[in-house]
Amino acid sequence: MHSLHPVRLVALGYLSYVTVGWLLLALPLCHATAAVSGLDSLFTSTSAVSTTGLVTVSTGSDYNILGQIIILILIQLGGIGYMTFGSFVVLSRSAVLSERRQQIGKAVFSMPEDFRIDKFIRSVITFTLVTELAGACALFLAFTHAGIEAPAWSAVFHSVSAFCTAGFGLYDDSFERLRGNVSVNVVLAILSYLGAIGFIVFVDGWRRVIGKTSRLTLTSRIILVTTAWLSFASIALFFVAEPSIQALPPYERLTAACFQVMTSITTVGFNTIPIGRLSQASLFLIVLLMIVGASPAGTGGGLKTTTFTALWGVIRSSILGREKVTFWGKEIPEERIRVAIASLGFYAGALILGCYLLALTESVSFEGLLFEAASALGTVGLSTGITAQLTPIGKLILIGLMFIGRLGPLAFGIALFFPPGKQDEPGREDLAV
């Protein structure tokens, strides 16, 4: 095991979670109906560990409380990362992490060099538990006021699912029934954004507040600004151009636009309006947001905002005829540019291959297949309603895409092709991609 590259160990860790979850969810004592097959259990386990949210059976109806608890545990493990929990157990017994675990931890979180992984992991656990507890309390009050059945369990389940950007829900219509409930929309949005922007931003912000650093790192500033700009611009486009929300009251129309953009860019995968009824323009906008995705060291998927900005820096420098790639006056190291381009190449390759294979096996419109593949690879969980209708081969293709998306296409490529025994890691700069 010590000869394996850290990323390969991470891949094996996620694979072990998926396997154990599959075996547990396949037990009849976890089922509320007879509709759950072995393939459905594998699909659900992969979707939960990858924090995607695509489902072939109903989480709230086809799984009983035991099955839902197992799904929630898988979501939590997948959201925070298997190394975080493993390292936290070690840290609870000793003062420091081994060098090996520090290597794996940095591979998981893509951290700037000056971050200490042991303190970082403690902060991750604390931040996660406090945020999810606060979110559960807020949702309990909102669900109780809205008359939701079993508000306590629903609040806990959806708080964890939102923060881990998993998109699993106990209601078959997601949150369409609560589209006009501002409280529920706001709490879910806050939880999702906190999970998606990443743990690095939280720790970096805290260090800034207590005076350990004079300002946020370039990574944190890029994450916050890019997420904000993409969100505001997309909300405006969705609000103006989506026909299905035009007849809604103004505040509900704005709430629906904000929520649907939020759920796409954070890759949380909830919805308050039927995705299958959206216009082609809105579906394409959502696909673009799902491809960009969340941020490094966050619970969401996608290409990542820092990779997007690095690629934008390359385009801008080429247009201006500059030899060096800069962003906000700071030069982006050549190594980071290579990583960003490689990430885009692997991501595009995985998406193209997934779409092609689905087109071979499924008799569904290509737009629907593209949306489904982008949702699986981006670990988003939004669907136009075709997931359960796919053939067994189609479901296996989505399982592969979800697993690649959780690990990250570039990391998945490293795990497959990196020479065994080679441990050298490139130096890390201020910008993580």
Q: What is the pLDDT of residues 234-261, one digit of tens each?
A: 999 999 999 999 999 998 999 999 999 9
Query: pLDDT value at position 403?
Result: 93
337, two tokens:
């540019």
Task: Provide mean pLDDT across the span 75-92.
Answer: 67
pLDDT of residue 329: 75
pLDDT of residue 428: 35
Mean pLDDT is highest, among 109-113, 149-153, 311-315, for 149-153
Burial class for 34, CB neighbours closer than 10 Å (0-12, 13-18, 19+): exposed
Q: Is the pLDDT of residue 101 over 90?
A: no
Where b means 16+ CB within 10 Å and e means fewer, 324-340 reads: ebebeeeebbeebbebb
The model's confidence at residue 427, banded by pLDDT at 50, 70 and 90, is: very low
Average predicted confidence (pLDDT) for the chain = 86
Window from 145-149, 178-182, 213-217 with minimum mean pLDDT: 213-217
Q: Is the dihedral of CA 160, 264, 401, 54 positive or negative?
A: positive
What's residue 430's pLDDT?
43
* Residue 47 predicted with pLDDT over 90: yes
Interval 329-387: pLDDT, tens: 778 878 788 888 888 999 999 999 999 999 999 998 999 999 999 999 999 999 999 99
Lowest mean pLDDT among 136-140, 181-185, 197-201, 375-379: 197-201
Share of the chain above pLDDT 90, in %: 59
Q: Which of 195-204, 258-267, 349-358 has the lowest mean pLDDT?
A: 195-204
Average pLDDT over residues 172-184: 93
Characterize 209-231 residue by residue with b for buried, 16 or more Cβ atoms within 10 angstroms of its Cβ, and e for exposed.
Answer: eeeeeeebbbbbbbbbebbeebb
Query: Is the per-residue pLDDT at 107 higher than 60?
Result: no
Say what the pLDDT of residue 327 is. Answer: 75
> Which pLDDT score is estimated for 86?
52
Q: What is the pLDDT of residue 431?
A: 45
Q: Where residue 425 falls among pLDDT bands split at 50, 70, 90?
A: very low
Report the share of the chain in percent with pLDDT over 70: 84
The mean per-residue pLDDT over the stretch 192-220 comes to 84
Q: What is the mean pLDDT of residues 207-232?
A: 87
Q: Is the pLDDT of residue 421 over 70?
A: no
pLDDT of residue 118: 67
At 307 the pLDDT is: 87
